[in-house]
Amino acid sequence: MSTQGFRIETARYPEDLADLRAVREPVFIIEQAVPVELEWDELDPLSHHVLARDAQGAAIGTARLTPQQSIGRMAVLHHWRGRGVGAALLQALIAQARARGYAFVELHAQTHAIGFYERFGFAAFGPEYDEAGIPHRSMRLMLNEDADERALREVDSAAELADLSLTVLRAGRRELVIYTRDLDPALLDNREALDALRGFATGARDAMLRVLVQDLRRAVQEGHGLITLAQRLSSHVSIRVVETEPDLQYAAGFILNDQGGYVFRPIATRPEASACLRDRARQRQLLSYFNEVWERARPASELRPLS
C-alpha cells in the first residue's frame, strides 16, 4: 500500500529484523524506557509484521498482529508522526485480520492514545493497568456484525449502564445524540465519559454531538464538564433545552451513535435500560423522535463560549 511520502508493506521475519529494530528500539527502548528484555518476545517470530518505508526505502514505522488476534508494537519514528503513518499501519493490520477471518482484534493502548484507536472503532474495556511502567487500557474492535453486536442487552445497575453508555459513545464516528433530564452527572460528568466525548468531538472535522436536556439549572450551577466542553468546542457540541409540552412529560432518556448503537432508559432517573450495539431500525426510530424535539427546543443561551 502506497501513500503520500511513504508505503506500507509486509515485513519478512527474520529477514527484516534489522528494520524492525531500527524503529522499535528508538521508540520503545530509548524514548519510552521499555526494558529491552520486554520489547522482544517469543511472539515476534510468530506474528504478521508490517513496515512503513519512506521514499528512499528506510523504515519509519512498524506494527504486528499476533496469533492471539492482538495488534501491538506499533511505533512511528518521531519526525514522521502526525503524517498518517500510524493510521496506515493500523489499517493494514485490520485488513490482515479480516483476511484471516478473525471476528475481532484487541490491543493494549497507552492511555494517551485511546482517542486515536477509537477513531478506528476500537472500544476500551476493563480497568487501567501498568505495562512496562506505562499506563494502558485494553481495547477491542469487532470485525463482523455478529450476533453479539445485534443482541439486545438489558441492564439494571448503574455500573452496567455506565459501561454500555461508554461503549456506545466511543463507537460514534460523526454523530452522537443524548436525550437527558439534567445531563446525568453520575453518567456523563466523569473522566471516562468526558474523554470519550472530547475524543469524538475532536476526532473528525464534521463530528457533531447534540444534547437535549429538560433542566439545565443544576448542571450550570455545579459546573458540569459537558457544559465546559460545549463552550470550548461550540462548533462540535450543541445543547438545547426542552421547554414545551408534551415534551417535558417525556420520561425516558437515551444515547445514540451513528453506527446503530443505542442505550435507552424508559425512566431516565433509573439505571434500568435496554441497549444494542447494532440495531439501526431502533436507532433511527429514536433519532426521529429526537430530531422532532430538537426543532422545538431552544438553544441553551445561558452557555457562553469560553475565550
Helix, strand, coil fractions of the chain, as percent rounded to 5: 40, 30, 35
End-to-end Cα distance, the chain: 43
DSSP 8-state secondary structure symbol assigned to residue 111: G
pLDDT in tens, the chain (307 residues): 545 789 999 999 999 999 999 999 999 999 999 998 889 999 999 999 999 999 999 999 999 999 999 999 999 999 999 999 999 999 999 999 988 888 889 999 999 999 899 988 888 888 899 988 889 999 998 886 555 677 889 999 999 999 999 999 998 989 999 999 999 999 999 999 999 999 999 888 889 999 999 999 999 989 999 999 999 999 999 999 999 988 999 999 999 999 899 999 999 999 999 999 988 889 999 999 999 999 999 999 877 654 4
**What residues does CATH 3.40.630.30 cover in the chain?**
2-142
The per-residue pLDDT for range 114-132, each reduced to its tens digit, is 989 998 888 888 889 998 8
The pTM of this model reads 0.55
How many Cβ atoms from other residues are within 10 Å of residue 134's Cβ? Answer: 15
Place of cell 529484523: 17
Integer Cα distance of 145 and 187 in angstroms: 27
Cβ–Cβ < 8 Å for 71, 64? yes
**What residues does CATH 3.30.870.10 cover in the chain?**
147-299
The DSSP code sequence of 212-243 is EES--HHHHHHT-HHHHHHHHTTTTEEEEE--
CATH of domain 2-142: 3.40.630.30
Cβ–Cβ < 8 Å for 208, 174? yes
The order of strands in the sheet holding 48-54 is 2-3, 6-10, 48-54, 59-65, 70-76, 104-110, 134-142, 123-131
Integer Cα distance of 70 and 94 in angstroms: 10
Cβ–Cβ < 8 Å for 105, 123? no
Integer Cα distance of 295 and 237 in angstroms: 16
Residue type, 65: L
| Fold (CATH) for 147-299 | Endonuclease; Chain A (3.30.870)
